[in-house]
Chain A
Amino acid sequence: SQTIHQWPATLVQPVGSPLSLECTVEGTSNPNLYWYRQAAGRGLQLLFYSVGIGQISSEVPQNLSASRPQDRQFILSSKKLLLSDSGFYLCAWSVWGAYEQYFGPGTRLTVT
């Protein structure tokens, strides 16, 4: 069966520090991968999605970036965090061509 992992579960980082969140998927090949952010009390915002290794589509201009170095690995990064980067970060995967997305447990990031 397929599983999706995200770590860390929680993170507290000072403003201006770098960020790296990792997401891995097991039990499937060539998945579509997604990064979402949910600010406190707000809806889900799609940040990036990827349909293959090295292929990244950005949805919102910001100081975040994403990379997909391996088929089932998706990384969210920032060189310098802002206070507004605080939120709940969710990774998701789907089979190519399908719209059922399966979400990871999320990382709760607090920038202080």
Chain B
Amino acid sequence: DAKTTQPTSMDCAEGRAANLPCNHSTISGNEYVYWYRQIHSQGPQYIIHGLKNNETNEMASLIITEDRKSSTLILPHATLRDTAVYYCIVVLQGAQKLVFGQGTRLTINP
């Protein structure tokens, strides 16, 4: 699976959009980009995933660059409850497992 690089930590003001970048420059054509988050003392929670096109659901939007070498997770109106570690994971189609990296610790400030 391709390696991902994320900033260690980020801060965002409550009510503003939180934009979390992820670099996956070695991604191959049949690898998906998945995002999870882990709120303190809980298990990770699936957020969104994509292959080539941008995706949006009730939680977030995922913007994937045209060359697929990077992506951005957008939380449009961040709340204090969005404070968590966010993991960007690249998954090979057909693989049976996910490999979690260190993620980005996002802190939403009041």
Within 8 A of B (CB), among A89-112: 90, 92, 97, 99-106
Contact B97 A46, beta carbon cutoff 8 Å: yes
Give the secondary structure class of A's interface.
Answer: strand
Give the secondary structure class of B's interface.
Answer: loop
Contact A43 B103, beta carbon cutoff 8 Å: yes
Give the distance to chain A from B44, nearest Cβ to Cβ, in Å: 5
Q: Contact size class for A?
A: 20 to 34
Write 6 A-B pairs (CB below 8 A) sorted by A numbering: A43-B100, A44-B100, A46-B98, A59-B97, A99-B34, A103-B42
Known: A43-B102, A44-B38, A92-B44. 14 other contacts (CB 8 A): A43-B100, A44-B44, A45-B100, A46-B99, A49-B97, A57-B96, A59-B97, A90-B44, A92-B43, A99-B34, A99-B98, A101-B36, A102-B46, A103-B45
